[in-house]
Structure 1
Amino acid sequence: MIAQKISSLILFSMFIGSTYAQTNDPIFNKLTNKLEQIAGDGPIVGFSVAIVNEDGTLFESGFGFADKKANIKYTENSLQNIGSISKTFIGIALLKAQELGKLNLNDDINDYLPFKVVHPKFKNTPITIRQLASHTSSIKDPAEYEGKGYILKEAENGDAKVNGNFRSPDEMMSLGDYLEAILSEDGKWYKKKTFSKYPPGGMFNYSNIGAGLAAYVLEQATGESFPAFTQKHIFDPLEMTSSGWSFDTIDLSMHSKLYADAETELAFYKLVNYPDGGLISSSHDLAKYLSEIISGYAGSGTILSEESYELLFKPQLTDENHKDRSDREYNDEYNMGVFMGMSSKGQIGHTGGDPSVVTHMFFNEKTKTGKLLLVNTELDKKSVQEFIAIWRALIAHENEL
């Protein structure tokens, strides 16, 4: 839900690192100088960017601070939560599990779950894995998604801001228990209104809970934890050596501070429903991932079969699935593959947002050039203009690179 609000605000209004951007190449210098100028003039504390194609990374760099007080620069290797870009990893994982014969996207989710999930008004209509992956499952995000889903990393956080909906570390629970509490008729937070008035397979309704449920279905189908499965089939093959789903799986010294505003640190937190937005990564690692996705689109991907990649990008939605279908260039909800967003203007990827985290990752289906942006600061009316300026700078230079 937070990701949708941030995305709407923004939408309305071979590895070559930063050292290369300091050479005599005029394109690199022009882009670097432009981003440095934007960073110096704006309230965003720190951010990193990358531009890639199917052959690899064309440009990557960081700007501003990962820790303002300690004067630690934000670089392409700085780590932070990437928000709902994480959902695209669920899509890749589901398709890999289907390749392995562990599940089928058309399966009823109750074929795998240890508790039942049914639409209270359409009890005889199964909810399928494909519907979860295209946000047509009829499952909505209840108040407990934000009210119970953010857990403080530490009980004591000094001067760092603690949001009102951040829960104590002792309230952490497993993904399965959390989903059962919300979606099972016997669950302690169950409400019929968590399901929309439409049947499964009907209207598009972006669902973070549905995404977490898809990852949980994968765990039940494969007998492996979601972190272990993605490590084996995505991170390791792509040499994403700095990425992980929890603080204890990454180098915490490389993790950026998060900022509620230009001067206020936000306390570190984790997500109970972590598959929907909790991947911790860097622009350097994500650039490898985006390059692989572009390669898959072009027919030369390595971590999925050609058939699976075709399914990843196959549009699942029509006008009948939408009440209001926006044609903005970077609207990742115009159409949906398998947790892969598609705009009406040929941009494929995903946006992301959580407290003090804003991210964009897209590639152009015609030029097969992609770009990504990770920000460590909560956006307001002023900083969203900086975000837009950064993104426009990347747009202006991606084809030159």
Structure 2
Amino acid sequence: MKILTQIIVLTLFFSPQFNLAQIKDSKLDLYSEKKMKKAQVIGMQLGYLKKDGKTWIGSYGEANSETGQKVNDSTLFMIASCSKPITALAILKLYNDGKLDLDLDINTYLPFKITNPHSPEKSITARMLLSHTSSIKDNWEILDPLYTIDSGGDSPIALLDFISDYFLKNGEYYDRNENFFNEQPSKYWEYSNMGYALLGLLIEQVSKKSFSVYMEEDIFEPLEMNHSYWFLKDILTENIARPHSLPENKNESIKVLKHYGFPDFPDGQLRTTVKDYLKFIQLILNNGKIKDKQFIDKEIIELFYTVQYPEINKYQAISWNYNEFENFLYYVLMRRLPSHTGGDPGVATVVTYDPKNKIAAVVFMNSPPVTFKGGKILYLDLPKKLLKESKK
């Protein structure tokens, strides 16, 4: 079990001297640190994956600006919505194993019935949830106050309870107009965090395991992602990047936030390292194989980055999006690739990869840039540079 592995390797793995990078590149270190300082962010971990499977990882700045704790290659980062592709992988694994059908009504698997009240006769499917076409709406008047920013720690609300309270008519958080779009499922695209929270419950119901246990036993352990966690309570190390809120004007100061959680955690609460995340990307680029073993069928992995409803959104694949940066200028300067970004209080992340050339780039920050220059560095300069270096 992972807990025993943690105890055995904890001292070594989380030592600042423990270097996970396979490739040394002092010029790229200088470039990355310079860009981090120009973006005015607190700490950063980033890396790339080459076609031959080798990786480069760089870590810079502070995990905690109050204590001066430095970021190293073993520092865990909360990655916000870059968690979604890993939740999607779990659904695809259940599909691969014949336990879930992407195109069946989700109520086939749920303990209660969920429909859009504006079109109750239309089924919602896992494929729709995966591609943000389910017509499920994020009600931020409900979701924002449930972040444990003030108290810190994991949310005390169980996933099943939260889902039922959000989607069922007698639920505490139910609102037919704010929780659902008027459009029919599969006929409208809108990014949906709650759709991915619902996928988390599907994973629990189909696997007969809690979400975090299924992810640990059936996803993280086979991929050797030994330093990836959904809940703070499961983390034994203090080597976790604290989220930071940067000042937007000179009269404000940097705020070091508590480690927090939220009840819709399958959509964005993963804490992991760039090294672990690149193992997940390598699975995709290796056509579903772990070393020489087929973990998930090649056809299903290819489905992962295939646009699902081109008549609705020509860029949206399963979780990944080919227009993730939503800036036309960026796509003049670099190719459209399956990508994902993440943003939460004190968190900013980017993942992009090239299935054809089998390369990838990952950037984790513990403070979202607040300037245009900072945003350009995060979403264009660093991913573009990493992908270029990964081709060498």
* Native 8 Å contact 2:126 2:199 kept in 1: yes
Residue in 1 aligned with 2:199?
Answer: 214
Residue 17 of structure 1: how far off its partner (Å): 4.1
| Pair 1:174-2:158 in alignment | yes
Residue in 2 aligned with 1:165?
Answer: none
Spell out the pairing of 1:29-108 with structure 2 (5 A cutoff): 29-108=26-105
* Native 8 Å contact 2:155 2:262 kept in 1: no
SS in 1 for 2:54: strand
Residue in 2 aligned with 1:232?
Answer: 217
* 1:340 equivalent among 320, 337, 356: 320
* Native 8 Å contact 1:17 1:61 kept in 2: no
Residue 45 of structure 1: how far off its partner (Å): 0.6
Distance (whole Å) between structure 1 residues aligned to residue 154 and residue 345 of structure 2: 20
Amino acid at match of 2:148: I
* 1:301–1:341 Cα change, 3 Å: farther
* Native 8 Å contact 1:51 1:370 kept in 2: yes
* Native 8 Å contact 2:51 2:391 kept in 1: no
Spell out the pairing of 1:182-193 with structure 2 (5 A cutoff): 182-193=166-177
Amino acid at match of 1:104: D
Residue in 2 aligned with 1:6?
Answer: none
* 1:54–1:90 Cα change, 3 Å: farther
* Native 8 Å contact 1:36 1:63 kept in 2: yes
* 2:262 equivalent among 246, 271, 291: 271
* 1:287–1:128 Cα change, 3 Å: same
* Native 8 Å contact 1:175 1:216 kept in 2: yes
| Pair 1:118-2:115 in alignment | yes
**How many percent identity over aligned positions?**
28
* Native 8 Å contact 2:288 2:297 kept in 1: no
Residue 113 of structure 1: how far off its partner (Å): 1.6
SS in 2 for 1:321: coil
Spell out the pairing of 1:286-305 with structure 2 (5 A cutoff): 286-296=277-287, 302-305=294-297
Distance (whole Å) between structure 2 residues aligned to residue 301 and residue 336 of structure 1: 25
Residue 228 of structure 1: how far off its partner (Å): 1.1
Aligned pair count reads 355
Distance (whole Å) between structure 2 residues aligned to residue 108 and residue 368 of structure 1: 35
| Pair 1:360-2:344 in alignment | no
TM-score normalized with structure 1 length = 0.81
* 1:19–1:290 Cα change, 3 Å: closer
Residue in 1 aligned with 2:13?
Answer: none
Amino acid at match of 1:50: G
Structure 1 unmatched ranges of 5 or more: 1-14, 22-27, 156-168, 326-333
Residue 205 of structure 1: how far off its partner (Å): 1.1
CA RMSD of aligned residues (A): 2.5
* Native 8 Å contact 2:79 2:348 kept in 1: yes
* 1:134–1:293 Cα change, 3 Å: same
Residue 20 of structure 1: how far off its partner (Å): 4.5
* 1:241 equivalent among 226, 230, 241: 226
Residue in 2 aligned with 1:281?
Answer: 272
Distance (whole Å) between structure 1 residues aligned to residue 347 and residue 361 of structure 2: 17
TM-score normalized with structure 2 length = 0.83
* 2:308 equivalent among 294, 301, 316: 316
Residue in 1 aligned with 2:10?
Answer: none
| Pair 1:350-2:333 in alignment | no
Amino acid at match of 1:207: S
Amino acid at match of 1:359: T
Amino acid at match of 1:209: M
* Native 8 Å contact 1:42 1:386 kept in 2: yes
